[in-house]
Amino acid sequence: MEFDIIWSNRARAELRAIHDCISLDNPTAADRVRDAIYQRVEVLRGAPRLAQVYDCDSPNEVRHTVSGKYRIFFSINETERRVEVLCVWHGARQEPEL
């Protein structure tokens, strides 16, 4: 049974900002980056536990996966069969606060 994907407001805003920033120079590349991130998140529907655990101070387990230069942070709710995308972060930036 697959997991539902829920995007937090923060993750949606970050993905929109990434797309908008890249679009200033190359709209086609912006679409490719956005679509690749969406595709990577879709993989989590079937096997979210394959992603690495992210070591942070969050009370809930946080995992992360990579799409190109971007890290996708998420949590898993086994009971509700949900994956919540918490944030999308450029790999060159300092670690996000989750």
Domains, in order of start, for the chain:
4-90 (3.30.2310.20)
DSSP 57: S
In this predicted structure, what is the pLDDT of residue 76?
94
Average pLDDT of span 48-52: 89
In this predicted structure, what is the pLDDT of residue 64?
94
The yes-or-no verdict on residue 5 having pLDDT over 90 is yes
CA distance 48 to 96: 20
Tokens of 84: 């919540």
Q: Residue 8 in contact with residue 88, Cβ under 8 Å?
A: no
Q: Residue 11 in contact with residue 86, Cβ under 8 Å?
A: yes
| pLDDT tens-place string over residues 56-83 | 776 778 999 999 999 999 999 999 999 9
CA distance 27 to 91: 21
In this predicted structure, what is the pLDDT of residue 1?
82
Q: Residue 95 in contact with residue 22, Cβ under 8 Å?
A: no
